[in-house]
Chain A
Amino acid sequence: MAETTLTPPAADASPAPAAEPARARPSWLGSFTTRFAVIGVWILLVIVFGALRPDTFLTAGSFQTIFGGQTQQALVFMCAALLCTILVGEFVDMSVASNFGMAAIVASVLTVNHDVNVWVAALIALVISTVVGLVNGFLVVKMGVNTIVVTLGMSTLLLGLAQWMANLMPVSGLPKSFSNLALTKILGLPTSFYFGVILMLVFAYVLKFTPLGRNMRFVGENREVSRLAGVRVTRVRIGAFTVAGVIAGLGGIISASATGGFDPSTSQMYLMPMFAATFLGTAILQPGRFTPLGTLLAVYFLATGVLGLQLLGATAWVSNVFYGGVLVIAVTLTTILARRQR
């Protein structure tokens, strides 16, 4: 009955929004160019560096440096941890790098200085990192403290503790068997590379294809909408902080395994490239959205740029210029893309 009386106006509505389908279409074409713009620049970089330094840049060695380098592996884990909280709508978690360093130093110090079994030490380190994430989550979500203040404080606190534990000295001497965890080569690249790729693939899968991933996206977009749809918003948010701790801890342990120890003061050096890669990731694949795979590609994009510039003769300063510049450009891009996003 409802149909007979009320269908005509519904049918009438057809001419009115006729302009709208057209509005949706060209964005796809437009997004094709934005989607692959970064990849295009990447290819361009390879061509330019290859032309300028054919003998050093176009070698298997530089391929291994880019994809097998421990800095990149560390960054992949840190970016994944950072993504966890960004995706549920938090502002950047500043403590990821320090938490990573904490895990690496705990595992190293306990094994080297206190003769704890290396696997037990790794487990303890992982537990500590997880607890750090949980505490962050509790303070931000339950107590309502500002994310950046809590995590910045936590970051400095953990850095200090790590320096105290290591007595401000680099720790080394982890057993060879433990190093095999990260350094065993498969097809020319160390296992740590594959760990990072698997982590990001699993993350991407969860995000795209599971209810948990969808709930995370919705919590990030609109907490009230999520709550009214029956999502346990608090649990999701604290969970994100905790998992961020777990991932940072795993990354730290793998890094310690790869280098046979850890220098507590190095963790802060990852802060800039981590943000640069994560934000640059939003300009790849799905413009305007934070995506694990986009971030993964961004990490290797940055590594290519830095290596190329170093081969051209630039010294240590170049990474600062490059990471800083990319971060500013990437954040601006993110903002513009999010506005234009269809």
Chain B
Amino acid sequence: MSTPAATGAGSPRLSVQNVSVTFGPNRVLKDVSLEVQPGEIHGLIGQNGSGKSTLAKVLTGLYTPDAGASVSVDGTALDLPVRPDEATAAGVAVVHQSLGLVGDLTVLENMRVGRMKASRVLRRIDWRRERAEAAAVFERMGRQLPLDAKVSSLREDERAIVAIARALQDLHPGEGLIIFDESTRSLGRRSLEQFFAIVDEIVATGTSVLMITHRLEEIVDAADRVTILRDGVAVQSGLKAEGLQERDLAALMLGESIVDLEQRTPAAIDDSRAGTSLKGLSGLGVRGVDLEIKAGEVLGLTGLSGSGYDDVPYLVSGASPATAGELHVDGRPVKLRKLSPVAAMRAGIALVPEGREHAGLAMNLSVAENMAFPLTSRASAVLAPLKAKDEATLVSSWIEKLDVRPVAPQALLKNFSGGNQQKVLMGKWLATAPSLLVLHEPTQAVDVGARHTIVSAIRQAAAEQGCAVLVAGSDENELALLADRVLIFGDGEVRQELTGEITPDAIVAAIYANGSRARLRTRPSGADGTGGTGGTGTQGAAGTDTAGTPGEQGTQGEPRDVGQVNDDAAAPAPAGGAA
């Protein structure tokens, strides 16, 4: 319980000492200490369930730590539990998961929410002053954004700027700390590079950053030091990040070294079966896509956001209506126009959608109920009793196969960690023994251990059941692990096909046509984190970024119309024939 030295130049920006958190009989955090120095990017990583988010919630005041803990900023101890307003006053700003912006409100409103001041007499908001305050922050960041644009109309990299600006406005230049609580989870590659360019500029001024993340690459490339949690214990606190490899970090997180972390199993294509073929798929942002997946093959789809690759899963599984297209699953034809989820399931198509809370699972029901749900949801005899015994056997076999922990089929899903929830979601659809398995971001926001279980389960379904697998995703590392072949989308069409050795670099290179996968950040060379080196590195990254982001909007109206015309032309024909 070392109390930090009295205020002075030597005291760390943020000092967390001996934080323990106990829920009932469990200690989910045990004596965690970490120190963030001025002007550094400090990474905080750990598996789902390691206590990472618990620590974040202590720092944001949601949880109360056990007695004996201390949290201090610039040498001044904060009262515990942390009060958000006091933390803000001390110079701690938080950027929440998925940025925490309201899409329907403008940039200005999002920036100033909670900070708006009423005018003296009429108590109305003085928009001129608000506007000036917001503009000043963007000025400080050297970025320009339309203050009156709705956030939903912005590109994702611009949204990241808004979120950072909102955090930055409460900090004095060169002071304070920004906590990024898994803020980067939904950012694509280019936005991520842009994001780190800004973060680099911020830390170059002396402001500190605590980066809570799932992406090990962010630590390897960008962090100065890293703290690693495992089972609620800080197994490393303030480890120098330079020179570390992703596998080193993974080993520390999991507690054992991992062999072949990034190795893909060989393809198990079964040519004796028909597999899946898709012809002329149109709908949403997709127009006229043809593709083929052999039985046992895993096909990846990717592209820039808005290129339509992420619409394909929903169109082929009946979740969103397609305007045209025909699918052959194991040789059997499936009409995609007006396909319903019911018909898709009947044809042997299973969709694992993105967003397990929203579309994947019922969190207030049990693991068993969720896993067995698709098996009975379409039952024609709705009042015939459920086969409880068969279900229990099936559920426990999938819990075992997917290593869902804890093994508690009757426990409610909301009490499980994200990685285990995602495993349940996989099990729920794998249990239907699909002929075509369609996945969208299957390992998003999932820790390394769970990711490997899920990846191996998908590859196993392909290899052993001869299932054709379609994976749409924006994470090049995930695709490189999963896919035997990758199709790159642009403007709703297939632009390029990657075969053979598939590497994350090759995928990114193909997505951004002639772009490259820039390093997220170049660390300042000197021992102290001030100086111009960081600045120049940033300039470079920012430069490639603006060059690499083409205007994606505006081209979508036309193709959709084309699809519509084709469709309308096709539809009247049979009707006329009948009449």
Chain A positions within 8 Å of B, measured between CB atoms, are: 1-3, 5-10, 12-24, 26, 206, 209-212, 214-215, 217-218, 221-222, 224-232, 338, 341-342
Contact = CB atoms under 8 A, between A and B. Distances in A.
Given A215-B382, A228-B351, A230-B377, A15 B341 contact: no
Contact of A218 (B268, B317, B365): B365
A19 B28 CA distance: 7
16 contacts: A6-B453, A8-B256, A8-B259, A10-B403, A10-B449, A10-B456, A12-B258, A13-B453, A16-B230, A16-B254, A18-B231, A19-B49, A24-B408, A215-B376, A218-B365, A226-B377
B159 interface: no
A256 B231 CA distance: 64
B546 interface: no
B261 interface: yes
B260 to A, nearest CB: 5
Interface in B1-44: 23-28
B374 A211 contact: no
B232 interface: yes
Q: Most chain-B Cβ atoms within 10 A of its Cβ — which of A222, A225, A227, A338?
A: A225
Nearest to B346: A230
B359 interface: yes
Interface stretch (B218-226, B411-419, B502-510): B411-419
A211 B405 contact: no
Interface stretch (B68-76, B194-202, B326-334, B383-391): B383-391
Contacts of B363: 221-222
Contacts of A211: 376-377, 379, 381-384, 386
What 3 pairs across the A-B complex have the smallest Cβ distances?
A: A6-B456, A13-B449, A221-B362
Nearest to A216: B382
Contacts of A8: 256, 258-259
Interface in B389-424: 403, 405-408, 411-412, 415-417, 420
B362 A222 contact: yes
Nearest to B417: A17
B25 A3 contact: no
Contacts of A209: 385-386, 388
A229 B341 contact: yes
Given A10-B449, A12-B258, A211-B379, A1 B351 contact: no
B488 interface: no
A214 B345 CA distance: 18
Contacts of A6: 260, 265, 452-453, 455-456, 459
Nearest to A4: B265
Nearest to B358: A224
A235 to B, nearest CB: 11
A206 B376 contact: no
Given A12-B256, A16-B50, A23-B24, A2 B382 contact: no
Contacts of A212: 382-383
A217 to B, nearest CB: 6
A24 B411 contact: yes
Given A22-B26, A210-B386, A227 B341 contact: yes
Contact of B384 (A23, A210, A221): A210
Interface of B: 23-28, 47, 49-50, 230-232, 254-256, 258-261, 263, 265-266, 268, 317, 319, 340-342, 345, 351, 353, 358-365, 369, 373-374, 376-379, 381-386, 388, 403, 405-408, 411-412, 415-417, 420, 448-450, 452-453, 455-456, 459-460, 463
A246 to B, nearest CB: 15
Contacts of A13: 47, 254, 403, 405, 449-450, 453
Contact of B266 (A1, A17, A20, A23): A1
Given A5-B265, A214-B369, A214-B376, A20 B383 contact: no
A241 B231 CA distance: 48
A19 B382 CA distance: 39
A225 B361 contact: yes
Contacts of A222: 358-359, 361-363
B242 to A, nearest CB: 25
Given A218-B373, A228-B351, A17 B405 contact: yes
A7 B455 CA distance: 11
Contact of A210 (B27, B385, B450): B385
A226 B411 CA distance: 20
Given A20-B417, A24-B408, A225-B361, A5 B263 contact: yes
Contact of B456 (A3, A14, A20, A210): A3
Interface of A is mostly: helix
Contacts of B351: 228
Nearest to A222: B362
A229 B361 CA distance: 10
A218 B360 CA distance: 11
Contact of A15 (B255, B340, B453): B255
Nearest to A9: B452
Contacts of A232: 342
Contacts of B417: 17, 20
A1 B268 contact: yes
Contact of B359 (A23, A224, A230, A231): A224
A130 to B, nearest CB: 19
Given A20-B49, A218-B377, A228 B386 contact: no
A16 B381 CA distance: 43
A17 B384 contact: no
Nearest to A227: B341
A228 B319 contact: yes
Nearest to A224: B359
B447 to A, nearest CB: 8
Given A12-B256, A221-B365, A224-B358, A19 B231 contact: yes
B265 A1 contact: yes
Given A3-B456, A19-B231, A217-B362, 14 more contacts: A1-B265, A6-B452, A12-B254, A17-B49, A24-B415, A210-B384, A211-B383, A218-B365, A218-B369, A221-B364, A228-B319, A229-B341, A230-B378, A342-B412
A221 B266 CA distance: 40
Contacts of B459: 2, 6
A338 B345 CA distance: 32
Nearest to B460: A2
Contacts of B360: 225
Contacts of B449: 9-10, 12-13, 16
B480 to A, nearest CB: 15
A224 to B, nearest CB: 5
B110 to A, nearest CB: 26
A69 to B, nearest CB: 32
Given A215-B377, A228-B341, A16 B456 contact: no
Nearest to A5: B260
A26 B24 contact: yes
Contacts of B358: 222, 224
A22 B25 contact: yes
B448 A9 contact: yes
Contacts of A14: 405
Nearest to A217: B365
A305 to B, nearest CB: 30
Nearest to A214: B376
A50 B328 CA distance: 74
A218 B362 contact: yes
Nearest to A21: B406
Contacts of B342: 230, 232
A222 B268 CA distance: 36
Nearest to A239: B382
Contacts of B265: 1-2, 5-6
B345 A230 contact: yes
A26 to B, nearest CB: 6
Contacts of B256: 8, 12
